Amino acid sequence: MNVVISIPSRKGFAPLALRARNIAEKALACLHYKNSVLELYLVTDIEIKALNKLFRGKDELTNVLSFEARAFPRGDIGGSKRYLGEVYLAPNVIKKRDESISLLIVHGALHLSGYTHAKQSDRIDMEKKEDEILTYVKHHHGA
């Protein structure tokens, strides 16, 4: 069973947290991750900008940030669960940009799986996988 910990930072994100968790669980199922943990955080514009500056050196808003487990290992997950890492989403930025939160959750999960968009061929592979997972998510009770 896939485990996704969804921790909204603000009460205003609570309604979105359940939907985001559902999408992330389906994305992990499509990626064939069993007994895996992905931490999913819904954060404010100020928080995502601070994280972007601290970890990427970019003093600007972004929509999603992913941190692989090797960068932030967790010893408290326990059992036979595989810790994948953390995905931070900025719902207000996503909404302002009229972007798909489903796509960005999948995008973040793929980064934790080793996908990148550093080169054009990487980007094409990643976009193909995003489409595949989004189709899976949609056909398994929507997103």
Quick: pLDDT tens for 111-137: 998 899 999 999 999 999 999 999 998
Quick: pLDDT tens for 45-82: 999 999 999 999 999 999 999 998 875 656 566 666 78
Structure tokens at 46: 């100020």
Query: Distance between the two ends of the chain, CA-based, in angstroms?
Result: 19
Q: What DSSP assignment string belongs to 42-83?
A: E--HHHHHHHHHHHH---S--SEEEEETTTS--SSS-TTPEE
pTM of the predicted model as reported, rounded to 2 decimal places: 0.87
| Residue ranges of domains in the chain, CATH in brackets | 3-139 (3.40.390.30)
